[in-house]
Amino acid sequence: MTARRAVVAGRVQGVGFRFFAARAARDLGVRGWVRNRPDGCVETVAEGAEEAVSLYLDRLRMGPRVARVDSVVIEEVAPQGFADFEVSG
C-alpha cells in the first residue's frame, strides 16, 4: 500500500477535472479524495497498490481534454486507510 498527495496546476477548475480524477481512481481501484483549492489548483490524495497509484498520477498529468495541466507536484504521504474515493469542494 502506497499513498501520494498531488497538487495539479493549470486550467483544472471548471473543466470536470475532479470527476475525471474520481473516475480514474475508481477504474484503478485507488482510494482517497480530490478537491478544488482556493488558489485554482486541484489537490488529491490517492492510496492503493503502487502500480495503481502511479497509473492514477499518470492520468492526472494528462487530465480531461478541456483541461490544461501545467504541473503536478507529488509527495509521498502515510496511508490513511480510505474506504473509497470522494469528490469534495
The set of catalytic residues is 18, 36
Q: What is the dihedral of CA 6, 12, 18, 22, to 10 degrees?
A: -60
**With b meaning 16 or more CB within 10 Å and e meaning fewer, what string describes 56-77?**
bbebbeebbeebebeebebeee
